[in-house]
A and B are shown apart, each in its own frame.
Chain A
């Protein structure tokens, strides 16, 4: 594009963000980023003023999860930059596309320990896919273009642009680059045809195959392709924590979530399979348990766009580097071609075995009449009384596992959580970001009382910006997951896990933040309160559900043990041999 006159670096930055299609950004101004906030007034970009920079980062992440578009956040230098490190690390582990702009002290002052100076590029290097320090205003359009390209292509991830204050005030001739020129960055999206063919051969021969679907399915927009492949072959599908919704839970081939708190069937199907078709999954320790004992008889087909995931944990028999959607589509063709030569191996016995596990070892809890409120019951009722495409966000801990287990996910992009980093406090800001991106959808967050206290102040943002999210706190007055481990593995020696059910008073706190606050302490009021919350669309709602602190997440595979040793709910134990 030809130059169209002189503008400031700050204007160039905003204009570049607009050129990249940015509709909304989450941020909070401060000294070093001040010049950029001025042209923002005249921009088409909606800015959401957060109450803490961590909130801006998680909102951008929730927005990206819900929309598939990169989330954009902008904060100032120093403490603001360090506050956004957690969301960057979170997005890096969960491969969430994000572009974060941080202010920086003037270029000449870098290294002098100036006010609100920190080495943002150095600090964020290990938690971003790439980052840039702008040293010349003329580079701004090129850097922004590269930043969005890197964030959204290949294995997506967060990137950061560090923007010194004097660069914002420099003038430059505006231009917009036609593309990017990055000789060291050329992600491969198309799987190798020979590898795909080899994979298809294994697929038709396997007698106990399982599809191990990971978050890469969602990142590649491959849910349709996955469904077509599963239905073509009749192979059952497990969906990891990051892939919940990538394959509908109500589908007869869906086995649900595997892993440390997965269901017995999903864990055991992986464990006893003779072929694992890993699609956009990374053999995380929470899924494999003890790696050396994981799926010992299985051959592995591993499809991942990141070559470094191939063989990182488990050596694949057929590695395929490529975009999940493209590779699955090719795999469907190759499997059909293979079907023309030989019929697919009979897997009906395997399917029957799996089905029997589903009958014998279901997820289990018991809500007694008039008894203490069970957290699983709340989640089930919430699911029953929300639209099928309702978006659910969660924090990290017991409530997250119960939500993943008991919610029926039937659509992609309806589940937003912090899987890799396990960031407590993720739910509230992520739900806000999701609602901003998908105002047409109902957005609920299931949160824990511990998590809620970490980022609740963003509900002030939600009220001020009229973002009507709904928060269900499963308040068991404990850091529940830690309590569970102390109960099971530390001889019930409870160390620093008690929080109190009514300090703070969540209803009053919600009201102080401009939300509607409600409290439920028995099973009878659950549905009516949820329905009341669903009626409210002009402000956020917080419901304080007082749940049973003794309830634990089952099944469980203890850390470092084999997936053969699933600990079931005590009431189901007799059935397990």
Chain B
């Protein structure tokens, strides 16, 4: 799977109540309304009452406005912010096991070090590598490492924060549509 960034992909940062079943409600809503999720990451926040979901949606397949408005109707959803591609910092993590027999091991290692990837496990003829970065970088690394033979690969889905400083806050609170 190669998830390349697409201009139609939008990142929604969704603050939700930290209660049982909230993820199910969000997932069920996407399926009920036939919206597509590209990736989804959930984590606790600094405030234990809330969790944050970072949802990447494909706005080509479903209208972003409807997705946001329908999400807003879910009672555990507190706030939805859309982070435009150039207005946030995004990171994603990837773990993958790649074939690395004696005569290719050094090439894999070299490629990893160029990308600042970390080798976290070494086997007899394979290595497991971790790479954290912008999704584009993960895509590029995947393309380059593929010829060596990817045995298994996992990506976390991206998480994002609005860019700080210098400029005024660009985090656009979509929930304020409600007035």
Contact = CB atoms under 8 A, between A and B. Distances in A.
Interface in B107-157: none
Given A126-B28, A126-B32, A184 B179 contact: no
A281 interface: no
A184 B76 contact: yes
Given A126-B32, A308-B73, A188 B78 contact: no
B86 interface: no
B75 A321 contact: no
Interface string A297-316: 00000000011101110000
A150 B75 contact: yes
Contacts of B179: 188, 192, 321
Contact of A321 (B17, B24, B70, B178): B178
Contacts of A135: 20
Interface in B38-83: 65-66, 69-70, 72-78
B1 interface: no
Interface in A150-209: 150, 182-186, 188, 192
B105 interface: no
A111 interface: no
B21 interface: yes
A565 to B, nearest CB: 28
Contact of A122 (B24, B73, B77, B178): B24
B165 interface: no
Of A133, A183, A188, most B-chain CB atoms within 10 Å: A183
B17 A184 contact: yes
Contacts of B74: 184
B102 interface: no
A126 B179 CA distance: 26
B21 A307 contact: no
Nearest to A127: B32
Contact of B75 (A182, A306, A308, A311): A182
B105 to A, nearest CB: 46
B174 to A, nearest CB: 11
Interface residues of B, number: 23
Contacts of A186: 178
B66 A312 contact: yes
B7 interface: no
Interface in A112-132: 121-122, 125-126, 129-130
Contacts of B25: 125
Nearest to A155: B73
Contacts of A129: 75
A307 B69 contact: yes
B178 A185 contact: no
Interface string B9-26: 000000011001100110
Contacts of B69: 307-308, 310
B177 interface: yes
A150 B73 CA distance: 11
Contacts of B76: 184
Contacts of B16: 184
A184 B78 contact: yes
B65 A311 contact: yes
A121 B20 CA distance: 11
Nearest to A150: B75
A183 B178 contact: no
Nearest to B177: A307
Contacts of A306: 73
A184 B178 CA distance: 12
Given A125-B28, A184-B17, A308 B72 contact: yes
12 contacts: A125-B24, A133-B20, A133-B21, A182-B75, A184-B75, A186-B178, A307-B178, A308-B69, A308-B72, A310-B69, A312-B66, A321-B179
9 closest residue pairs by CB, A with B: A308-B69, A126-B32, A130-B75, A184-B78, A185-B75, A125-B28, A184-B75, A188-B178, A184-B77
Interface of B: 16-17, 20-21, 24-25, 28-29, 32, 65-66, 69-70, 72-78, 177-179
Given A184-B76, A186-B178, A307-B72, 7 more contacts: A125-B24, A126-B29, A130-B75, A133-B20, A133-B21, A185-B75, A308-B66
